[in-house]
Structure 1
């Protein structure tokens, strides 16, 4: 690899390698959640050598230490059009397993609503599990000023 592109020690090498293996290596534990469910890597990024160099050319400019690669469309491929660099918090909020709640034209995961509204995670989760409508679960007991700031008042 080093002979082909001279970027063996580039900080994006492990990101690229992890992406390739979780999508293309059935022996990897992550494979069922990626390649096993149809997540692919675009052809331009797939090959050793040239693919890695293209990945760095496409994604390198926005990279900063501490960021993670994320797919905008969680069911879409790893490709320049679908990938971005995000914080760990942002990346964890783009998981299939998240509980997404829509209210007042806003679609957010449970953790984000908790953070914005100042509710505890267990309070909001319990309200929803008991069948409360989203409007009631998200607004009951929340200060009217906070709801107004977030555009959640009628």
Structure 2
């Protein structure tokens, strides 16, 4: 019997695993198995370390994986539709880098003018600095108020609306904590805001019109303050 090449050879499986010509789908399959291998839990804390698994059908056979997923398009990689779920048929797709970024567990989505966008895309689409969008979102502003330019100076004083995380009473308490020497990170955790918001309140850039709770004592300056000019120092 003569030599049989390619698909006619008795050892032929799928033709995509040869080191010199591994297909995109095969590389993604191998990487998926590697990051979900329990022995790699320490090196892969958000995959194997978090209990993410590959279904038995795919774990045992590339052919089964390829039958379900097909070829990997250029510029795409495997993505779990539900980021809390496992790698299995019905919960995986080939996705672009941007699609995967929008599907991360920690991506903040919000609705502006009837469209669901991540905060970064809000910044790009409406021409508002990303730091401004993030700060306003953390202050509790939503929708049109995230992109409004008409009241941008008023917004820097802090929002008094019911949906805001902070109000004048809470800011007064926070300033009392600052006066007692509490750290930004502790105050941020206590009031559910970012450390940058606490820092701006400390330095009088936000909620400057709100005084600390009475009898709070003198404000303690931060390490980088100039005692002659920094608002961290009590007047």
Structure index of larger Rg = 2
TM-score normalised per structure 1: 0.74
Q: CA deviation at 1:3?
A: 5.4
Assess, with a 3 A threshold, how the Cα gap between structure 1 residues 20 and 64 changes in structure 2: closer, same or farther. same
CA contact (8 A) 1:20 1:46 kept: yes
Q: CA deviation at 1:137?
A: 3.9
Assess, with a 3 A threshold, how the Cα gap between structure 1 residues 119 and 15 changes in structure 2: closer, same or farther. same
Query: Which has the larger helix fraction?
Result: 1
**Structure 2 unaligned residues grouped into runs of 5+:** 1-10, 151-235
CA contact (8 A) 1:100 1:108 kept: yes
Give the distance between the partners of 1:29 and 1:66, measured in 2 at CA: 28
Give the distance between the partners of 1:134 and 1:119, measured in 2 at CA: 14
CA contact (8 A) 1:26 1:36 kept: no
Q: CA deviation at 1:25?
A: 4.0
Q: CA deviation at 1:135?
A: 2.7
Aligned residue for 1:19?
Answer: 32
TM-score normalised per structure 2: 0.51
User: Which 4+ runs in 1 deviate beyond 3 A?
Assistant: 2-6, 102-108
CA contact (8 A) 2:133 2:147 kept: no
